[in-house]
A and B are shown apart, each in its own frame.
Chain A
Amino acid sequence: MSAASGQSAKITYREALRLALREALRRDERVFLMGEDVGRYGGSYAVSKGLLEEFGEERIRDTPLSESTFVGAGIGAALNGMLPIVEIMTCNFSLLALDQIVNNAATMRHMSGGQLSVPIVIRMATGAGRQLAAQHSHSFEGWYAHIPGIRIVAPATLEDARGMLWTALMDPDPVLMFEHALLYNLEGELAPDAGPVDIDRAAVRRSGDDVTLVTYGGSLGKTLRAAEQLGERGYGAEVIDLRTLRPLDMGTVLASVAKTHRMVIVDEGWKSGSLSAEIAARTTEDAFYDLDAPIERVCGAEVPIPYPRHLEEAAIPQVPGIVDAALRTVSRHV
C-alpha cells in the first residue's frame, strides 16, 4: 500500500482481496496460495491475477481438480508449520472437500487434546444472482456455520475484503471465508491505511430506532437499500452486518433488538435449518421480552435456484421483500 497521498482510492472488492493476498504473501513466508486456476489463469474471479508473476509457482500453486486433496493438503501444511490460503473456486465445489473440512480441520484441535492447530484460511465464492442455475448458486455458509471448530467469515465491504484475511491467517484455527460472487465488482473508496480488521464482532452499518435488519455478505447491499426506503417512509432501520457467522456475535444483535424491539433477518440461504433460524431462535431464547412483534425472515425460497432471471430473482431476497417484512413488523404490536 503505497498511497502516500493519504487520499482514499477507488477500488473494487476483488482488488481489495488481492491487496490482502499480496500483503499476506509479502509479510510472511509461511503463506502460500493454492487452488484451481489461481496461477496461470489468474483466478476464476481474477482475484489472484498477477500474483503468480510476483510470487512464483511455489507460492501461487495451481492444483488439479481434486478439492478434497488440495484442501486436505492445506490442512496438512497448516499442521506442519505453514499458513496456507486455499481457494475453492465456489462453495458448490467445496462439498467435494467437506470431509477434510469437517472431519479434519474442525476436529484436530479438540480431538488431540489441544496439541494441534490448523491455521488455514479457505476462501470460496458463494451465492446466486448470475443465472448460473441450481448447482452454481448455492449459499452454504449457513451449513458450515453449524460446525464447531471452524470460524466462518463473510466480508461484505471493501474494508472487510481488505482486512479480514490477515486476521484470519493469524488465527490459529481454521477460517472459512465466503465471498459473495456478486460483490467482486463492488466499487468504492478505501482508505489508504486500511488494514487488518477484527473477525469477532458484528458491525452496525446503519443506525435506526424502529427495526433491526440483520444480514451479512451479499445481502448487505440490498438490506441497506431497503433501510433507505424505510427511512423515506419514516422508519429508522438499523442494519447489522454479522461479518462473522461462527461464532455469532449475538451481543451486537441483541443490543439492537433491545433498542428497536423488532427484527428482520435477511439470509440468501434456504430458510429451513438456516443461519436465520439460528439467529431467530437465539433471539427468542435470550431477548423474548424485548420483542414487540414476531421476527420476520427474508430467505432463499425452498427451491434449487432456477436459471431464468425472473425466477432466480424471485428465489432470493430482494429489496421490496425486505421492506415489506420490515413494514409488517413495525405495524404489529403486542
Chain B
Amino acid sequence: MSNATSPVTLLKEMLRVRRFEEKCAELYGAGKIRGFLHLYIGEEAVAVGAMQALQPEDAIIATYREHGHALARGISAGVLMAEMYGKYEGCSHGRGGSMHIFDARMRFYGGNAIVGGGLPLAVGFALADKLTRRPHLTACFFGEGAVAEGEFHESMNLAALWQLPVLFLCENNLYAMGTALERSESQTNLCEKAESYRVPVRAVDGMDVAAVMSATAQAAAEVRGGGGPQFVEFRTYRFRAHSMFDPELYRSKAEVERWKQRCPIKTCTERMVGQGVLDAASVAAIEREVDEEIAAAVSYAESGTWEPVENLLQDVYTARAT
C-alpha cells in the first residue's frame, strides 16, 4: 500500500469511507440494512491513516464500528455492502453483517461486538507470530470504552510481559456509547494506563490523517524492531449517533458542531487546495469516482443472493470428511 501515502490517495480513501457509510445510513432508512449499524463518520482519518503503516501479512482486529477499517484494508466496497445487506456474496456470506466483517485473505479478523473482546485475540495472534518467528505484527483497534474492561488491562500486561508484536490502536472518541470518559474513568489519561504496563505510548490528533499515518508508522516500526507492543491513542470524534437509535442526550449540538469544524476530510481537502495540490475540478473528479464506486457496490449488493435456508446449520462445526 505504499502508493497510498500520497495525500490525494489518503483523501480519496477517507471519502470512500464517508460516502459508503452515508449510503449505509440511507439504506438503513430504506430497510435494506438491518440490525445495529455503527457509523464511523468523523473518525475516518484514524482507520485510513493507520492502515498505511500495515503490511499485507499483518493481522487486523477491529471493533463493531469497522466498516472504515475494512474498506481501508482493501475489502471491496461491493463485497462489504453485500455483507451489510446480509447477502451470500458478502465477505462472511452475510452471516455476520455490519458488526462482523471477516476476510481471511486480507487478514482482517473482525468485527467484534463485545467491547474489549478483540484484545486477547490480538495477543494470541501476535504470540503465534512470535512463536513461529514470523516478522508480522497484529494491529488491534478498540475504542476508549474498552479501557474500562478487564481484558484491556490483562492484554496490555500479557503483551508487554511476553514482548509480543501488538500495535494497540485506541480510538478515543470521548464517549463509550453515551458515557463520557470522565464519567467512567478515575484516570482519564489513557496513555498513563498503558504506560503503567510498560508499553510505550503516543497520543495523536486523530482528525489529522497525516499525523495518524506518521505516528502509526513510527509505532509499527518499533514493534517490527522487536521492541514489544506499542500503544497509540487517537483523539477523534464520532459525528453521528452511536448506532441508529440514539437521541444523543449525552452531548450538546454545539460540541458536535465544534468537532465537525475539524472534519478530517474537510481540513485535508482545504489544506491540499491551499497548497495547490488539488483544485475544485480534481476534487470533483475524486468525488465522482467515489460516488461511482459506491453506486456499483450498492448494485452488487442488490443483485446478490440470499443463502439458502438449507445452509442454516453449515459451518457451526467443520464438516467431517467421513
Which residues of A, 61-96, contact B by the 8 Å Cβ criterion? 63-64, 66, 68-82, 84
Given contacts A32-B131, A103-B117, are A76 and B151 in contact (CB under 8 A)?
A: no
- Chain A residues, Cβ within 8 Å of B59: 80
Q: Are the C-beta atoms of A109 and B158 separated by less than 8 Å? A: no
Interface core residue of A77, A82, A113 (most chain B CB under 10 Å): A113
* Chain B residue at smallest Cβ distance from A200: B320
Q: Are the C-beta atoms of A68 and B154 separated by less than 8 Å? A: yes
Q: Are the C-beta atoms of A116 and B117 separated by less than 8 Å? A: no
Q: Are the C-beta atoms of B316 and A112 separated by less than 8 Å? A: no
Q: Say yes or no for A6: interface residue by CB 8 A criterion.
A: no
Q: Say yes or no for B157: interface residue by CB 8 A criterion.
A: yes
Interface core residue of B93, B100, B121, B150 (most chain A CB under 10 Å): B121
Given contacts A113-B90, A172-B318, are A72 and B128 in contact (CB under 8 A)?
A: no
Q: Which of B109, B114, B131 contacts A103 (CB 8 A)?
A: B114
Q: Are the C-beta atoms of B125 and A77 separated by less than 8 Å? A: yes
Q: Which of A64, A75, A100, A110 contacts B316 (CB 8 A)?
A: A110
Q: Are the C-beta atoms of B117 and A115 separated by less than 8 Å? A: no
Which residues of B, 126-178, contact A by the 8 Å Cβ criterion? 126-129, 131-132, 138, 150-151, 154-155, 157-158, 161
* Chain B residue at smallest Cβ distance from A107: B100
Minimum Cβ distance to chain B for residue A39 (Å): 13
| Number of inter-chain CB pairs below 8 Å | 140
Q: Are the C-beta atoms of A68 and B121 separated by less than 8 Å? A: no
Q: Are the C-beta atoms of A110 and B102 separated by less than 8 Å? A: no
- Chain B residues, Cβ within 8 Å of A69: 119-120, 123, 151, 154-155, 157-158
Q: Say yes or no for A231: interface residue by CB 8 A criterion.
A: no
* Chain A residue at smallest Cβ distance from B59: A80
Q: Which of A58, A113, A148 contacts B102 (CB 8 A)?
A: A113
Report how far A109 CA is from B95 CA in the complex, Å. 10
Q: Are the C-beta atoms of A73 and B95 separated by less than 8 Å? A: no
Report how far A174 CA is from B136 CA in the complex, Å. 25
Q: Are the C-beta atoms of B158 and A149 separated by less than 8 Å? A: no
Q: Say yes or no for B91: interface residue by CB 8 A criterion.
A: yes
Q: Which of B129, B158, B316 contacts A70 (CB 8 A)?
A: B158
Q: Say yes or no for B92: interface residue by CB 8 A criterion.
A: yes
Q: Are the C-beta atoms of B131 and A171 separated by less than 8 Å? A: no
Q: Say yes or no for B255: interface residue by CB 8 A criterion.
A: no
Minimum Cβ distance to chain A for residue B9 (Å): 28
Q: Say yes or no for A252: interface residue by CB 8 A criterion.
A: no
Report how far A109 CA is from B315 CA in the complex, Å. 6
Minimum Cβ distance to chain A for residue B66 (Å): 13
- Chain A residues, Cβ within 8 Å of B123: 69, 72-73, 76
Q: Say yes or no for A137: interface residue by CB 8 A criterion.
A: no
Report how far A326 CA is from B128 CA in the complex, Å. 51
Minimum Cβ distance to chain B for residue A230 (Å): 36
Q: Say yes or no for B205: interface residue by CB 8 A criterion.
A: no
Q: Are the C-beta atoms of B95 and A66 separated by less than 8 Å? A: no
Interface string of A269-289 (1 = CB under 8 A from B): 000000000000000000000
Which residues of A, 149-178, contact B by the 8 Å Cβ criterion? 149, 151, 171-173
- Chain B residues, Cβ within 8 Å of A44: none
Q: Are the C-beta atoms of B127 and A73 separated by less than 8 Å? A: yes
Q: Are the C-beta atoms of A112 and B92 separated by less than 8 Å? A: yes
Which residues of A, 89-127, contact B by the 8 Å Cβ criterion? 99-100, 103-104, 109-117
Report how far A247 CA is from B314 CA in the complex, Å. 14
* Chain A residue at smallest Cβ distance from B315: A114
Q: Are the C-beta atoms of A68 and B104 separated by less than 8 Å? A: no
Report how far A99 CA is from B93 CA in the complex, Å. 24
Q: Say yes or no for B222: interface residue by CB 8 A criterion.
A: no
Report how far A51 CA is from B128 CA in the complex, Å. 20
Given contacts A58-B131, A76-B120, A112-B100, are A68 and B151 in contact (CB under 8 A)?
A: yes
Q: Are the C-beta atoms of A66 and B124 separated by less than 8 Å? A: no
Report how far A76 CA is from B112 CA in the complex, Å. 13
Interface core residue of B113, B124, B132 (most chain A CB under 10 Å): B124
- Chain A residues, Cβ within 8 Å of B157: 64, 66, 69
Q: Which of B104, B119, B127, B158 contacts A112 (CB 8 A)?
A: B104
Minimum Cβ distance to chain B for residue A40 (Å): 15
* Chain B residue at smallest Cβ distance from A150: B317
- Chain B residues, Cβ within 8 Å of A117: 318
Interface string of B179-205 (1 = CB under 8 A from A): 000000000000000000000000000
- Chain B residues, Cβ within 8 Å of A149: 316-317
Q: Say yes or no for B7: interface residue by CB 8 A criterion.
A: no
Report how far A64 CA is from B154 CA in the complex, Å. 8
Report how far A151 CA is from B318 CA in the complex, Å. 11
Q: Which of B109, B161, B315, B316 contacts A79 (CB 8 A)?
A: B109
Interface core residue of A110, A151, A171 (most chain B CB under 10 Å): A110
Report how far A200 CA is from B317 CA in the complex, Å. 13
Report how far A237 CA is from B97 CA in the complex, Å. 51
- Chain A residues, Cβ within 8 Å of B314: 114
Minimum Cβ distance to chain A for residue B101 (Å): 9
Q: Say yes or no for B94: interface residue by CB 8 A criterion.
A: yes
Q: Are the C-beta atoms of A77 and B128 separated by less than 8 Å? A: yes
- Chain A residues, Cβ within 8 Å of B119: 69, 72
A-B CB proximity, top 8 nearest: A76-B124, A72-B120, A113-B93, A69-B154, A73-B124, A80-B128, A66-B154, A76-B121
27 A-B pairs with CB atoms under 8 Å apart are A64-B157, A64-B161, A68-B154, A72-B119, A72-B121, A73-B121, A75-B124, A76-B124, A76-B138, A77-B127, A77-B128, A79-B124, A79-B125, A81-B132, A84-B124, A99-B117, A100-B120, A103-B112, A103-B114, A110-B316, A111-B111, A112-B95, A112-B96, A112-B104, A112-B110, A113-B91, A149-B316
Chain A positions within 8 Å of B, measured between CB atoms, are 32, 58, 63-64, 66, 68-82, 84, 99-100, 103-104, 109-117, 148-149, 151, 171-173, 200, 247
Could you list 8 further interchain pairs (A-B, Cβ under 8 angstroms) beyond the known A77-B124, A173-B317? Answer: A58-B131, A77-B131, A109-B317, A109-B318, A112-B96, A114-B315, A151-B317, A171-B318
